């Protein structure tokens, strides 16, 4: 019963956040209370009714690139810990059974569990991977919490810094924005290269 209540509350939160999404965005543009802004950013990370890249850009525009990035980094790291905890301690047995039933994920899960820190950090870097999916998967697979949280916090930095910078500086400094995008792509490429399968030797 408690599990279904949590699901109901979460779905209700998404529904309410969706209904009031424009009011939240309007408030963010006008109000610069730091604590309330972190709270709002955390709510929008927990209930992803809008692309979070847009939220980061908005915070970068409202607060400046550095402060906006710090707010969103704090909020998304907090949200990542909350979702991981909910999935692991309330739904892990069922979600783990579901993961085990998907033969296509066997090798992937094995690879992630062998290198959890690097895998999570890369997943946070990659712009095409939904971040909520990473949170849920990590909790379901039972990845070590502190390794997961540290990798998440580290892996989020380049992307959040980029989108906050674009939100705050893209129109004023388009050349700097282009350089920032190139640097982000370089970091992503370096991370992908470091995670490439290592060829076995000595056979």
Report field, pTM of the whole predicted structure over 0.75: no
pLDDT tens for the chain, residues 1 to 203: 455 555 555 556 555 555 655 666 666 656 567 788 888 888 888 887 777 888 888 888 878 888 889 999 999 999 999 999 888 887 766 666 656 555 556 666 666 777 888 888 888 888 888 888 888 888 888 888 999 999 999 999 988 988 888 877 766 667 777 777 788 888 778 777 776 655 544 44
Residues belonging to the chain:
203
Give me the residue spans of the domains in the chain.
2-194
């Amino acid at each position: 019963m408690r599990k279904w209540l949590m699901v109901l509350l979460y779905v209700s939160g998404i529904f309410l956040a969706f209904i009031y999404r424009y009011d939240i965005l309007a408030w963010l543009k006008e109000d610069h209370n730091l604590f309330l802004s972190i709270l709002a950013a955390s709510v929008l990370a927990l209930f992803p009714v809008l692309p979070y890249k847009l939220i980061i850009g908005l915070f970068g525009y409202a607060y400046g690139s550095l402060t906006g990035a710090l707010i969103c980094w704090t909020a998304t790291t907090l949200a990542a810990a909350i979702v991981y905890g909910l999935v692991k301690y309330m739904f892990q047995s069922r979600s783990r059974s579901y993961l085990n039933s998907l033969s296509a994920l066997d090798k992937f899960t094995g690879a992630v569990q062998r290198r959890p820190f690097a895998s999570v950090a890369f997943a946070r870097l990659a712009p095409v991977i939904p971040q909520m999916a990473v949170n849920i998967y990590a909790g379901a697979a039972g990845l070590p919490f502190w390794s997961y949280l540290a990798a998440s916090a580290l892996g989020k930095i380049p992307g959040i810094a980029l989108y906050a910078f674009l939100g705050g500086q893209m129109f004023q400094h388009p050349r700097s924005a282009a350089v920032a995008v190139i640097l982000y792509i370089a970091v992503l490429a370096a991370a992908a290269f470091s995670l490439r399968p290592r060829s076995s030797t000595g056979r």
